[in-house]
């Protein structure tokens, strides 16, 4: 058991229910993991609380600790998760009016993939999830996603929106968010795996976010992210 850190006060502090929603497991599972010390957590009185950045870091470590080749075969994801995305699902814009417009643009990009057709249902689900607490991180990145797996989605889906001037999206520090990665999973298990893979690429990567803001070509953006993930995979295999 440990006392809440300064970081946990400054960043998004999550409840058991929040973490359960993030990991797509029941709250009892999160409680059991916290009691056994299997997940980063702080006890405040009789309640468990979780630092969002620590949870993402934990997911990143868990992802890197798995044998990569075996994991890819079992989880149905390609060697690089960024291979799921096509240039049609990547957009770079100078500015966006507000958070609502970001979510609308991401939904439009997702529909372009052809894997989903119901724009209204997807947008509503993403907004419902964002209303719980923002998916934005202090690094200038956000991971919007539906609150629950979407009916009719057969394969994982990614869409990326880059806003050069940034937009206030609810980051813990109050700063702007520049890179938005929408991910949709066909089931709860795939959701957790996708979140872990994305955390491996983007967690504490301010230089990468800055570089992406200067890029304009969707194909080059995708290739850059594939290269970054491959580097992270190689680093994990060497540990």
pLDDT, tens digit (0-9, with 9 covering 90-100), for 60-101: 776 555 444 333 433 445 556 777 888 999 999 999 999 999
The CATH code of the domain at 6-60 is: 1.10.10
The confidence band for 33, taking pLDDT boundaries of 50, 70 and 90, is confident
pLDDT at position 144 over 90: yes
Distance CA 159, CA 109 (A): 6
Average per-residue pLDDT for the chain: 82
Query: In which band, very low, low, confident or very high, does the pLDDT at 24 lie, cut at 50, 70 and 90?
Result: low
Residue 7 pLDDT > 80: no
**What does the alpha-carbon distance between residue 30 and residue 159 come to, in Å, rounded to a whole number?**
29
Point out the least confidently predicted range of 148-152, 155-159, 231-235.
231-235
Q: Which residue has the higher pLDDT, 34 or 181?
A: 181
Read off the pTM: 0.70
- Cβ within 8 Å of residue 195, ≥6 positions away: 22, 23, 56, 59, 143, 145, 183
Domain boundaries, the chain: 6-60, 77-238
The pLDDT value recorded for residue 29 is 77
Is 77-238 in CATH node 3.30.420.60? no
- Show the 3-state SS of 27-85: HHHHHHHHHCCCCCCEEECCEEEEEHHHHHHHHHHHHHHCCHHHHHHHHCCCCCHHHHC
Average pLDDT over residues 9-20: 73
Flag whether pLDDT at 9 surpasses 60.
no
Mean pLDDT of 159-185: 94
Closest CA to 183 of 169, 202, 164: 202
Task: Write down the pLDDT at residue 236.
Answer: 61
Closest to 191 measured CA to CA, from 15, 38, 22: 22
């Amino acid at each position: 058991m440990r006392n809440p850190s300064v970081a946990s006060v400054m960043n998004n502090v999550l409840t058991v229910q929040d973490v359960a929603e993030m990991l797509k497991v029941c709250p009892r599972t999160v409680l059991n993991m916290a009691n056994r010390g299997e997940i980063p957590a702080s006890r405040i009185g009789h309640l468990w609380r979780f630092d969002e950045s620590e949870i993402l870091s934990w997911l990143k470590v868990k992802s890197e600790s798995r044998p990569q080749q075996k994991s890819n075969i079992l989880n149905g994801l390609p060697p690089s998760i960024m291979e799921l995305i096509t240039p049609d699902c990547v957009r770079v814009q100078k500015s966006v009016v507000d958070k609502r417009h970001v979510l609308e643009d991401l939904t439009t990009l997702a529909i372009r993939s052809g894997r989903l057709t119901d724009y209204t249902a997807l947008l509503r689900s993403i907004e419902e999830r964002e209303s719980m607490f923002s998916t934005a991180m202090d690094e200038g990145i956000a991971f919007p996603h539906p609150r629950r797996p979407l009916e009719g989605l057969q394969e994982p889906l990614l869409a990326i929106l880059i806003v050069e001037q940034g937009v206030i999206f609810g980051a813990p520090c109050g700063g702007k968010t520049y890179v938005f990665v929408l991910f949709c999973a066909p089931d709860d298990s795939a959701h957790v795996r996708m979140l872990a893979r994305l955390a491996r690429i983007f967690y504490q990567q301010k230089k990468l976010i800055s570089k992406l803001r200067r890029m304009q070509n969707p194909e080059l953006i995708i290739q850059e992210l594939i290269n970054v993930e491959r580097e992270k995979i190689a680093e994990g295999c060497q540990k």
